[in-house]
Amino acid sequence: MVFLNKPCIFANFLQSGARLARPGVAETRCWAQNGTQPRMFQAAQHAATQDSTVKAPGWRAACTLAVLALAAGLLAAQQRTVSPQQQATASRTAEAGLPLAELAPQAPERYTVKPGDTLWGLSALFLTRPWRWPELWGMNLAEIRNPHLIYPGQLLLLERRDGRASLRLADAAEASAVSVPPTVRLSPRVRVEMLSQTPVPALKSSVIDPFLIEAVVVQADTLQTAARIVAAQDSRVLLTRGDRAYALGAPGAPLLDQPGQPAQAFQVLRPAQPLKDPQTGELLGYAAHYLGRALLVRSESAPGAAAGQVPERVPATLDIAAVREEIRVGDRLLPEPAPTLRSYTPHAPAAPIEARVAALYGNAASQAGQNQVVVINRGTRDGLESGHVLAILTNGARLSDTTDPARTPLKLPDERKGLLMVFRTFDRLSYALILETHDGVGVGDRLVNPR
């Protein structure tokens, strides 16, 4: 019997499924790259061809199909998008290694990847500047073709030679010296398990996934003409999860369900607040306040009216499926966008970036901290892209030189107080997640390329 391995990528919504029991991911990767079959696969192949219980043609056909599926899955998994500049940087580093000065002081000689590790965490473990992802990727370019294919259980070895450092994946002998897996006799029976081992993501999906839906930038009149909640069941003032609401669509666009299709989902939003550039005052856009999610249960309708009477409209029926804050009558509805697969690779911008924090997301009053989201006054038109890491600077104080009788005015230099990563971009603004900070982040804080 052959074991299957379905590679996954870091995405908005992690899809889980069932699979047949399989060997360690490290062995499967080694087979795919070195052209040799892992021991457990050989054992399975031997059992399929020698064991009298599995000589049926159906089992041999299943083995063939499984091998083809494994090859196709591995090929698709390696087709990840990497920018040409990152590829060039990684290639140069892979040829020469990395200077020892770039290593973190406590960089381990060997490290076993654990469930819950992230690419950002691994970079910080080995490098003094973790945003320099291409260096870490380039160090093991010969073996780990894409950082999103680093799996829990793999052993990473750090080698130091001639003033340079390189990171590589342990081979089968080195890995077995650390941990010898037990020998398991295989038999032709189906084992169903959840697909628990997935590649190491750049960041924890639980931190960033909610903001992919909640970060909504609209035009000034988008919500004014959007569908709206007009009433609540039992005349309730505030709505929460499980409550029923009634809504009317925009003029000429009634809320209609689609028979035979899943219930249509809507974002529940509150009228937007303007976002302005803290330096120039330019209007960058309108950030809609995300309140929750509603599902359309029944379409709205307009039954006929008697002569001389105004026709009555029957609102659509919606169920509140999730809430971020309490929902009330008057809140607006926009169709929920389809989930998209996103991959984040933290790296510094190639061109110089000078930006400011334009707003704080959510309930942050005047200061934001780690794992909170901010809006910055730069977007795709300025060259920003998802994964760009920027340094957050303190505004150096202005004071007088007390050691000089002339009281010469001084401007202290700006100091770095944290890092953030851009995860969603629009034309003139972007949303960014604060990765680390030792002080509060506020509107107007300066953002530059990390050094």
The candidate with the shortest Cα–Cα distance to 233, out of 298, 174, 278, 288, is 298
The angle subtended at Cα 128 by Cα 123 and Cα 129, nearest 5°, is: 70
Domains contained in the chain, CATH given: 84-178 (3.10.450), 211-301+312-335 (no CATH), 354-448 (2.40.10)
Longest CA pairwise span in the chain (Å)? 99
Got the DSSP string for 11-53?
-SS----EE-----HHHHHHHHHHS---HHHHHHHHHHHH-GG
Which parts of 156-298 fold into alpha helices (H)? 172-178, 205-214
Find, among 110, 80, 82, the residue nearest to 341 by Cα.
80
Write down the pLDDT at residue 32: 36
DSSP string of 386-414?
Answer: TTBEEEEE--PPEEE-TTSTT--EEEPPP
Report in angstroms the alpha-carbon separations of 213 from 228, 365, 377, 384: 19, 22, 20, 20
pLDDT per residue, tens digit, the chain (451 aa), is 333 333 333 333 233 333 333 333 333 333 333 333 343 334 444 444 444 444 444 445 444 444 444 444 444 444 445 567 766 666 666 566 778 888 888 889 889 888 888 878 888 888 888 877 666 656 444 444 455 567 888 888 888 888 888 777 888 777 766 655 566 677 776 655 545 456 666 677 667 776 776 778 888 788 888 999 999 988 889 999 999 999 999 888 889 888 888 889 999 998 777 889 998 998 888 888 889 999 999 998 876 555 566 677 899 999 999 998 899 999 999 999 877 666 677 888 889 999 999 998 876 568 898 888 999 999 999 999 988 999 999 888 899 999 999 999 999 998 999 999 998 898 999 999 999 999 899 999 999 999 8
Query: Using an 8 Å Cβ cutoff, are 127 and 136 in contact?
Result: yes
Q: What pLDDT is stored for residue 308 in this prediction? A: 60
Q: Indicate the residue type of 437.
A: T
Question: Tell me, what DSSP letter sits at residue 292?
Answer: E
Q: What does pTM read for this prediction?
A: 0.61
Measured torsion, CA atoms of residues 8, 142, 164, 92, in degrees rounded to the nearest 10: -100
pLDDT at residue 136, rounded to an integer: 61
Long-range contacts of 313-316 (CB under 8 A, 24+ apart): 313/248, 315/230, 315/231, 315/246, 315/247, 315/248, 316/246, 316/247, 316/248, 316/249, 316/254, 316/255, 316/256, 316/257
The torsion angle over the Cα atoms of residues 183, 187, 190 and 194, rounded to 10 degrees, is: 0
Residue 219 CA to residue 428 CA, distance in Å, equals 12
**What are the DSSP calls for 229-265, one per residue?**
EEEEGGG-SEE-TT-EEEEE-BTTB-----TTSPPPE
pLDDT given at position 4:
35
End-to-end CA distance of the chain: 53
User: What does the pLDDT read at residue 120?
Assistant: 81
**What is the residue whose two structure tokens read 């793999």?**
154
Predicted local distance difference test score (pLDDT) of residue 202: 67
Give the number of other CB atoms < 10 A from CB of residue 57. 7
pLDDT of residue 76: 42
**Residue 316 Ramachandran class (φ > 0 left, ψ -120 to 50 alpha, else beta):** beta
CA–CA gap between residue 426 and residue 222 (Å, rounded): 16
